[in-house]
Structure 1
Amino acid sequence: MVTAGIPAPSDIPSDAPGAGTGSTSFYLTTPIFYVNDAPHIGHSYTTVAADVLTRWHRQRQEDVWFLTGTDEHGQKVMRTAEANGMTPQEWSDRLVESSWKPVLTTVDVINDDFIRTTQPRHTERVQTFIQDLYDKGEIYAGSYEGPYCVGCEEYKLAGDLVDGTGEFAGQKVCAVHGKPVEELSEQNYFFKMSAYTDRLLALYEDHPEFVQPASARNEVIGFVKQGLQDLSISRSTFDWGVPIPWDTTHVLYVWFDALLNYATAVGLGSADPADAEKFARTWPADVHLVGKDILRFHAVTWPAMLMAAGLPLPTTVFAHGWLLVGGEKMSKSKLTGISPDVIVDHFGSDAFRYYFMRAIPFGSDGSFSWEDLAARYNAELANGLGNLASRVAAMVGKNFSGSLPAPGALTEAEEALEVVALKAVVDAEDAIDRISPNEAINAIWTLVDATNMYLTEQEPWKVAKLPGESTDDGAGVEGGRLATILVTAAEALRTLAVLLNPVIPKAAQGLWVLLGAQEPLGPLAAQQVRAAGRFGALPAGTRVTKGESLFPRLEDADPAVPATTSTTASA
């Protein structure tokens, strides 16, 4: 039997990640986040990383699709809604519109789609998928008895629990949330996940790129080698979820529902030919970005589901680390969540994006501190990049009336700076392909530092006073040494505008305007990354204007900020 919208097995390739569709698009997803509270910087950390990566791929002129969204089913959301005197749908609608969608604008994220698991396009397609698995014999009726963490929305194994402390002393608690688990005993439907143990291990062995970084892959392999159990995929004690199509007294386990968003959002399970074409063009996903606490769902449960359905696997599941405040992961219960608005309102969205993408190696845990953010803002953004742009624009304005001159003969100094630019492009490209935005920014910043050093060593302010470098009325001479220095610095800034556009888009656009590059070269977004490091693109006569500072220096850069009560990432 072939269910509408689910490809026949004969049409499906092997378990090789990314195989089978002939797609040339770049498809990246964030987790979908629980709506039991407003977003904090931990959620935005993931989403900004996704935005940097997808903007970079767009800058390569690739066909990009970037999905984010919200997970609105499950017991945790239901209980939160009840505690606030609302239905789960009312609560979800309010949080999505008042908090989750607006935060994307706050941190300057450009996503192509926003999926909600309560949307009919998702729930109907989920039912199509689950019915197909049932018809294939991948699901059976059974009973479940054991510990369940509502915070994780996860059935726990004995090894997942730790001894409680304080008020929970003497009890077994969830290692993630530090709260006691609930003992469940229900009649459920089960997915035959244990049947995929060997295929999953072969996947990790043959395709190490499937789970990244290496530490995450090793964790997953160790977990699967212990042996997989069949997964309970339904609940019958509450009704806030997707109804099981053949037994509506059950709703689908929230993770089985949530994971499918990555495929339903691009057309899986739809009978519409346009959706089928979109799915064929877009799927499989190239990158799923997830927090390390939800790695097993994405690296074990999700590929097993796809294998059972005969669908191609995503190329990479990348698990990044946690953001820590005071040495602890941000959480609602410990009041360590910080709203992105608090940071953006003071430092701006570019500084928010830059800091979290550069200060923390992607894939590792990292601590946030106001002092470090303020120091990096002033030293690297205001003094490093912002002051560089202002100096070059001011000197072109003073010596050449704001018109970029024709350069003279190049020396080893100019050639060396271009080599730095070319290497920055290559190294940043490589880092992006390894999903390492912090290393990409480090590579780009070598050009910021080298250009500042170039100006320090070449001393254009002194060159301007040398005989033959200016006319009687003080105007700079075309083709002179001063002209060469300033044109070279302007070319370095042009390279930086292109490379930094995915990271700090507002400042990069400001730099593009400062350089007057729009008229001769076209929009910043149309500039190819791979060609950005080659100097000589800006023609003589290009109008350079100083304008406002890209990063005004902030005297009060360490505000006293209260923590918000936001939750951790979900699916």
Structure 2
Amino acid sequence: MSEQQKFYLTTAIAYTSRKPHIGNSYEIVLTDAIARFKRMIGDDVFFLTGTDEHGQKIQEIANEMGITPKAYVDQVAGEIRRIWDLMDCSYDKFIRTTDDYHEAVVKKIFQKLYDQGDIYKSEYEGWYCTPCESFWTETQLADGCCPDCGRPVKKTKEEAYFFKMSKYQDRLMQYIEEHPEFIQPESRKREMVNNFLKPGLQDLCVSRTSFSWGIPVDFDPKHVIYVWLDALTNYITALGYDPDGSSELFEKYWPADVHIIGKDILRFHTIYWPIMLMALGLPLPKQVFGHPWLLSGTDKMSKSKGNVMYADDLARHFGVDGVRYYLLKEMPYAQDGTITYENIIARYNSDLANTLGNLVNRTVAMSNKYFDGAVKNAGVADALDDDLKSTCLSSVKEYTSLMNQFKVADALEVIINVARRSNKYIDETAPWTLAKDEANYPRLQTVLYNLLESIRFIAVMVSPFLPQTAEKIFAQINTDITCYPSLNEFGKLKEGKVGTAAPLFARIDEVKKLEELEKEIEASQKAAAQKEETKEEAPEGLIINIDDFAKVELKAAKIIECEPVKKSDKLLCLQLDDGSGTPRQVVSGIAAWYQPADLIGKKVIIVANLKPVKLRGVMSNGMILAADCDDAARVLFVDDHIPAGAKIR
């Protein structure tokens, strides 16, 4: 037996500024699928994830909430871990950068780098983006804003310690040239080399004095160690690295086989992190894989855009494996993926309900119907069998190759193709026709055996992606032959009896599900708005004060166009003249009481500064005022003499 290969992989640690959205959750699910696959093929896997918990942004949020930064990050870190667990992620360790052992070693690392002359004290003057925790020069700004996130930056000048990045630039360039697999995909490598390394590296700010929520520098306690030196070193502190003597775990698993991270933090992991390791005299990770973003429609997810989805909400509607499947199947290897409720439902119905679920359900049902569940390979072969068998065997090789390249979506397509081929085999062999004549029973037994064996192949291969589903399939076909090596030969399913057929994925009614989701979104937005309004306790007898009311911008607007929203019996899409010269689109749930033709030309009052939101895939930029009556919602129309755009006070 060959020696077990170690495989150490990590996610980026999640920043504890807020609950992670579905785009953040993609990374942990992707990494989990790879970790499960590596365990399945026999590797000794260590899978690390965790949370990044220091920084100015967190201190500011905690101050606004009136709690300590530690209390705040405890809440968010707990929420992150809850979601990771909900999504069935099999990590081996969850590190927090507020863990005592991590903070102690980070102090030692800072001291070591300072003592050897790689860190020096100076003064920083430049532009700082708080959300990104990044400094920028004047020339790096994009229209005066952060080039990464587009938010405003602040002019900052403070004393700081700096890391001599420039000292290691040539050495890193040489390493990247000699290790072409280090940065993947290839397009990301070109981006890092051409945009950052070739123009020349600036020394990196590694301490701050303008806030206190961080790990203090032992020999200069007014400084706290700045985020990247603190955050990136988690990959080694979690294993027990210590400049004074590391643990057996560190010696066993370092260097990492792969860091799986978002493309937006590639610079920190392929430039800053390797240079820090060089300065510490440690081997570099074998690979950094920068995955693309998961976009909401065509936009990056953002609370300010009102397009954020969360993994736990989606799991309530589509199941954990339904969400895992969509994330892993719809994300290309090197380009951004997209997520919409419509696309989730379409993929769920097509691949999971119709193709995979239907295959398992009808095969197990036929076994129970025709042979009282008995599984037997009578050996009555036909030329039709050969293609099914060769498809299963060749798919295992292709699947393995793709997974070793982290081409997860392509590997899933291979599995679904086996299910498609198996469904075609049912049509070709027509078991229901064979069942009409007892003379054909041996052939029917062989056909059903081949189908059950192909399903076993599918279940083994799909187990890293959909672990709960794989277990259900194994139970329905009643097999304990679930290991990866069993796929080297077709026909290892033992004779016996199948279990009871039960639908794996019930088909979703798109219209009903979208209406259900729409109600949830509206209720959530209403609750969020109410929560925002009542943040400060109002005087007795009042809900809001005049300052709160002044924040709401009410305008008169004329309805110039109106039409129903597709696949909704409640929504109308209105184009409004609000006096700005550009039509404003608003979606309103008044279709039950108004016909579009009755509204055109009427003037209404709108909330003009409401956060934009998508309803049934249509963007809405405002809200029309209406009254709740006993039998209907009644729109508040205004006098036609009031001009469009007039401010309502």
Is the contact made by 1:31 and 1:288 (CA closer than 8 Å) also made in structure 2? Answer: yes
Give the counterpart of 2:309 among 338, 350, 371: 338
The structure-2 alpha-carbon separation of the partners of 1:481 and 1:331, relative to structure 1 and needing over 3 Å to count, comes to: same
The structure-2 alpha-carbon separation of the partners of 1:55 and 1:47, relative to structure 1 and needing over 3 Å to count, comes to: same
Instruction: Read off the aligned partner of 1:26 and give its amino acid letter.
Output: F
Match of 2:218 in 1: 245
The structure-2 alpha-carbon separation of the partners of 1:23 and 1:539, relative to structure 1 and needing over 3 Å to count, comes to: closer
Is the contact made by 1:23 and 1:282 (CA closer than 8 Å) also made in structure 2? Answer: no
Match of 2:298 in 1: 327
Is the contact made by 1:23 and 1:281 (CA closer than 8 Å) also made in structure 2? Answer: no
The structure-2 alpha-carbon separation of the partners of 1:282 and 1:79, relative to structure 1 and needing over 3 Å to count, comes to: same
Structure 1 residue 28 displacement after superposition: 0.8
Give the counterpart of 1:439 among 389, 410, 418: 410
**More off after superposition, 313-322 vs 544-553:** 544-553
Match of 1:236 in 2: 209
1: CA distance, partners of 2:291 / 2:467: 23
Structure 1 residue 428 displacement after superposition: 1.2
Match of 1:504 in 2: 466
Match of 2:42 in 1: 61
Higher relative contact order (CA 8 A, sep 6+): 1
Is the contact made by 1:23 and 1:283 (CA closer than 8 Å) also made in structure 2? Answer: no
Trace 1:51-450 onto structure 2 (pairs within 5 A): 51-97=32-78, 99-163=79-143, 172-222=144-194, 223-269=196-242, 276-450=247-421
Structure 1 residue 533 displacement after superposition: 5.2
Structure 1 residue 326 displacement after superposition: 3.6
1: CA distance, partners of 2:133 / 2:213: 13
Give the counterpart of 1:34 among 7, 11, 15: 15
1: CA distance, partners of 2:466 / 2:488: 18
Is the contact made by 2:329 and 2:408 (CA closer than 8 Å) also made in structure 1? Answer: yes
Q: Percent identity?
A: 41
Structure 2 length normalisation: TM-score?
0.77
What SS class does the counterpart of residue 64 from structure 1 fall into? strand
Is the contact made by 2:109 and 2:243 (CA closer than 8 Å) also made in structure 1? Answer: no
Structure 1 length normalisation: TM-score?
0.88
Structure 1 residue 76 displacement after superposition: 0.9
1: CA distance, partners of 2:139 / 2:87: 38
The structure-2 alpha-carbon separation of the partners of 1:540 and 1:24, relative to structure 1 and needing over 3 Å to count, comes to: closer
**More off after superposition, 172-181 vs 314-323:** 172-181
**More off after superposition, 23-32 vs 182-191:** 23-32
Once the two structures are superposed, what CA deviation does each residue of 1:41-86 show, in whole Å capped at 9, x if it has no partner? 0111011000000010111121111111111001111111111111
Match of 1:14 in 2: none
Match of 1:49 in 2: 30
Once the two structures are superposed, what CA deviation does each residue of 1:79-126 show, in whole Å capped at 9, x if it has no partner? 1111111110010111222x1111012211111111100010110111
Once the two structures are superposed, what CA deviation does each residue of 1:184-216 show, in whole Å capped at 9, x if it has no partner? 111111111011111111122111111111111
Structure 1 residue 23 displacement after superposition: 9.4
**More off after superposition, 376-385 vs 331-340:** 331-340
The structure-2 alpha-carbon separation of the partners of 1:421 and 1:224, relative to structure 1 and needing over 3 Å to count, comes to: same
Is the contact made by 2:4 and 2:43 (CA closer than 8 Å) also made in structure 1? Answer: no
Instruction: Read off the aligned partner of 1:186 and give its amino acid letter.
Output: E
Is the contact made by 1:26 and 1:65 (CA closer than 8 Å) also made in structure 2? Answer: yes
Match of 1:544 in 2: 498
Instruction: Read off the aligned partner of 1:342 and give its amino acid letter.
Output: D
Give the counterpart of 1:483 among 445, 454, 461: 445
Trace 1:527-542 onto structure 2 (pairs within 5 A): 527-528=483-484, 530-532=485-487, 534-541=489-496
Is the contact made by 2:5 and 2:44 (CA closer than 8 Å) also made in structure 1? Answer: yes
Once the two structures are superposed, what CA deviation does each residue of 1:234-262 show, in whole Å capped at 9, x if it has no partner? 10111111111221111111111000001
Is the contact made by 2:328 and 2:409 (CA closer than 8 Å) also made in structure 1? Answer: yes
Instruction: Read off the aligned partner of 1:139 and give its amino acid letter.
Output: I
Instruction: Read off the aligned partner of 2:222 and give its amino acid letter.
Output: T
1: CA distance, partners of 2:178 / 2:132: 30
Is the contact made by 2:4 and 2:44 (CA closer than 8 Å) also made in structure 1? Answer: no
Is the contact made by 1:270 and 1:276 (CA closer than 8 Å) also made in structure 2? Answer: no
2: CA distance, partners of 1:206 / 1:62: 26
Over the aligned positions, Cα root-mean-square deviation in angstroms equals 1.7
Structure 1 residue 158 displacement after superposition: 3.9
What SS class does the counterpart of residue 148 from structure 1 fall into? strand
The structure-2 alpha-carbon separation of the partners of 1:24 and 1:271, relative to structure 1 and needing over 3 Å to count, comes to: farther
Structure 1 residue 24 displacement after superposition: 3.2
Is the contact made by 1:141 and 1:188 (CA closer than 8 Å) also made in structure 2? Answer: yes
What SS class does the counterpart of residue 28 from structure 1 fall into? strand
Match of 1:3 in 2: none
1: CA distance, partners of 2:76 / 2:265: 22
The runs of 5 or more residues in structure 1 that have no matched partner are 1-21, 164-171, 470-476, 566-571
Instruction: Read off the aligned partner of 2:14 and give its amino acid letter.
Output: F
The structure-2 alpha-carbon separation of the partners of 1:282 and 1:299, relative to structure 1 and needing over 3 Å to count, comes to: same
What SS class does the counterpart of residue 54 from structure 2 fall into? coil
Once the two structures are superposed, what CA deviation does each residue of 1:484-532 show, in whole Å capped at 9, x if it has no partner? 11000000000011000011111110000011102xx3xx4xx12x542
Is the contact made by 1:421 and 1:533 (CA closer than 8 Å) also made in structure 2? Answer: no
What SS class does the counterpart of residue 312 from structure 1 fall into? coil
The structure-2 alpha-carbon separation of the partners of 1:72 and 1:143, relative to structure 1 and needing over 3 Å to count, comes to: same
Instruction: Read off the aligned partner of 1:540 and give its amino acid letter.
Output: E
The count of aligned residue pairs is 516
1: CA distance, partners of 2:101 / 2:203: 28
Is the contact made by 1:72 and 1:118 (CA closer than 8 Å) also made in structure 2? Answer: yes
Instruction: Read off the aligned partner of 1:300 and give its amino acid letter.
Output: I
Instruction: Read off the aligned partner of 1:90 and give its amino acid letter.
Output: A
2: CA distance, partners of 1:76 / 1:219: 28
2: CA distance, partners of 1:303 / 1:500: 35
Once the two structures are superposed, what CA deviation does each residue of 1:107-147 show, in whole Å capped at 9, x if it has no partner? 11111111100010110111121211112211111111111
